[in-house]
Amino acid sequence: MPIPTTSSRIRVLECIILIAGVLLVLTLGSLWFTSPVTSGGVHPLLIALGTFFAMLLAAASFAYILYQRPSEIHRQRLAEAQVKYKARAELNEARYMEKSDLLEITLGHMNQGIAFVNADGKLLIFNKRAVEYSGIDEAQFAQPEFALPVDVRAIFAEQWKKGEFGPNGELLPEDIRQYFLTGTGTLPKSYVRRRPNGSVIEVRIEPLPSGGMVQSFTDITDLVAAIRSQGVKAVFSESSLPPKTAEAIASEAGVQIIEGEDALYGDSLGPKGSEGDTYLKMERHNTSVIVSALRGGGS
C-alpha cells in the first residue's frame, strides 16, 4: 500500500477543513433559525453536531498547520537548491564555453594541422590548418554531408575526387594508397606525402587508448628545400623510431638515407650485444656513421 506524501495529506486536510467549515456554518444557521423544541431552547442534537464540527474544524486546522509548515520549509529549501544548482550549471557551462573557446583559439593558431578521429572512424575535431592541408574547401564542411562527426572515408573520397593525391593516388606512398583503397594493412605511425601544389606534408598518427587516433599534419617543404640548398649529404634515421619519415624526406630531398644497422642511437641505448649497448659504444657508433656519411662512404 503506498504511503501518503506530505502534499497529499495537505490536500486531504484542506478538503476536511472546507467540509467541516461548511457543515459548522449550516449547523449554526440551524441553531439560529430553528424554533426551540425543548425547554432549554435548543435541540441537543444540533448542539452536539455543532460541537463535533467545531472540534473537527479545529483538529483539521491544527493538522493542516502542522503539515503545512514543514511543507513550506521543504519548498523553500527546494527553491534554494534549484537556484544553487542552476547557478552551478550556468557556471560550469560558462567554464566549458571558455575552455572550448580557448581550445579553438589554440588549435586555430597552431602551425600544424590537427584532426581527432574516434574508434568508429568518425572525424570529430579538426583545425583550419588541417583543412588547408586536406585540399578541401572549408565551406564544404558546412554542408550536411560533411557535418561532424563525418566518416573519414567520405573525406578521403572527396580528396581523391579533387585530385589531392594526384592521378590514381600516385602522390601517396603505396602502402598508404592501398590502405585507403582496399582497407588492407595498417596505417604507419608516420608518412610523408606530396601535395599537387608541390608542398610536402608529414603525417603523424598517434593511436589513443579509446581506439581512436590523433593525426598531425606538418608542412616540411622548407625542410626539404633546406636539405637540398645546403648540400646535405644524408638523412639519418634513429634506431628507436620507424624509418619511413626519414626515408621519405631523404627521397624528396634527393639524398641518401642512413638506416638499419647504421641508424643513430638517440633517445635510448641499443640492445645488449649491439654497437650501442653502452653510452661510449653509442657515441663511437654515431660518430663513425656521421663521419662516414659526410665523406660519402659506407660505415
- Supply the pLDDT for residue 195: 92
Could you tell me the sign of the dihedral formed by the alpha carbons of 223, 229, 231, 233, in that order? positive
- Supply the pLDDT for residue 165: 92
Query: C-alpha 136: how far from its chain's center?
Result: 24
Residue count of the chain, please give it. 299
pLDDT digits (tens), the chain, 299 positions? 555 555 666 566 566 656 666 666 666 566 555 545 444 555 566 566 666 666 666 666 666 565 555 556 666 777 777 777 777 776 666 665 655 555 565 555 567 888 889 999 898 888 888 888 899 888 888 888 888 888 988 999 999 999 999 988 899 888 888 888 887 878 888 888 889 998 999 998 889 888 889 899 999 899 888 988 888 888 888 877 767 778 888 888 888 888 888 888 877 777 887 887 888 888 888 888 888 888 875 54
- Supply the pLDDT for residue 196: 92
SS3 for 135-201 is CCCHHHHHCHHHCCCEEHHHHHHHHHHCCCCCHHHCCCCHHHHHHHHHCCCCCCCEEEEECCCCCEE
- Supply the pLDDT for residue 38: 47
User: Which residues lie across from 203 on neighbouring strands?
Assistant: 191, 217
SS3 state at 275: coil
SS3 state at 118: coil
Q: Is the preceding omega at residue 149 within 30 degrees of 0, hence cis?
A: yes
* Contact indicator for 276, 239 with CB cutoff of 8 Å: yes
Sheet of strand 122-126, all strands in order from the earlier edge strand to the far edge: 150-151, 122-126, 113-117, 213-219, 200-207, 190-194
